[in-house]
Amino acid sequence: MLSEKSVAMLEARTYRADSDWGVNILPLGSIYWHDELPETLDLLKTPADMLIIYAMFAIRLKLWDSETLSAQDQEMWDAVRQQVPNWALFNRLNLSEEQRLARESAEKQVEKEIESLSAERGDV
């Protein structure tokens, strides 16, 4: 699924309980922790893997929302988890109340940004 280069990059992204979180407007549109997401320049070196990595964040959003994953999403989740089981992303499958509120706030911020961009372009 992932290249050896990407596996090594994600293996280095191990869980740190004290990691700060931030908002990633595009492409994630939600919160993430700094120990989870590789640098964009590193991701751009493996475009196919970059899409898989971003898809993993999207799948995690579904898990946070207690959605049942499609067979394709579940297959991808399982395959990547098998390749990089210690990736920090896999340690945050449940949110605390504070994190849930931060997520809601971040996603509202993302919605406003997208609406603003659409309005500027005249799409609305």
pTM for this entry: 0.90
The reported pLDDT for the residue numbered 124 is 55
Domain boundaries of the chain, sorted by first residue: 4-121
Distance between CA atoms of residues 68 and 59, nearest Å: 10
- Using a 10 angstrom Cβ sphere, with 0-12 exposed, 13-18 middle and 19 or more buried, the burial of residue 87 is buried
- pLDDT of the chain, 124 residues: tens digit per residue: 999 999 999 999 999 999 998 888 878 889 999 999 999 999 999 999 999 999 999 999 999 999 999 999 999 999 999 999 999 999 999 999 989 998 999 899 888 888 888 888 886 5
In terms of C-beta density within 10 A (0-12 exposed, 13-18 middle, 19 or more buried), how is residue 50 classed?
A: middle
Residue 61 tokens read as 């959003």
pLDDT of residue 6: 97
